[in-house]
Amino acid sequence: MNKERRKFLEAVSARLDAAKATLEECRDEVAKVKDDEEEAKENMPPSMQEGEKGQAADEAIDDLDNAISNIDDAISSISDATGG
């Protein structure tokens, strides 16, 4: 590989590392929101937990859990691509 391509790859790798760090921060923030939603559901009266609001909370929790999983997959892919 010539010097120009190596330099370009190093720049791309640095950008991917920055993207990975940003994704990790986002994952942590989404996890916090998920934890807050779970806590809010737990604090609902049992009748509400079983009703529409409880179901909506469960759907939100599932969606947030899926988002966390997708972010983790992206982080893993970046790590694989950059060797770290």
Q: Please, what is the average pLDDT of the chain?
A: 94
Average pLDDT over every residue of 70-77: 96
**pTM metric for this prediction:** 0.86
pLDDT tens digit string along 39-56? 999 999 999 999 999 999
Q: If DSSP states are collapsed to H, E and C, what string results for the chain?
A: CCHHHHHHHHHHHHHHHHHHHHHHHHHHHHHHHHHHHHHHHHCCCHHHHHCHHHHHHHHHHHHHHHHHHHHHHHHHHHHHHHCC
pLDDT bin (cut points 50, 70, 90) of residue 1 is confident
pLDDT tens digit string along 55-71? 999 999 999 999 999 99
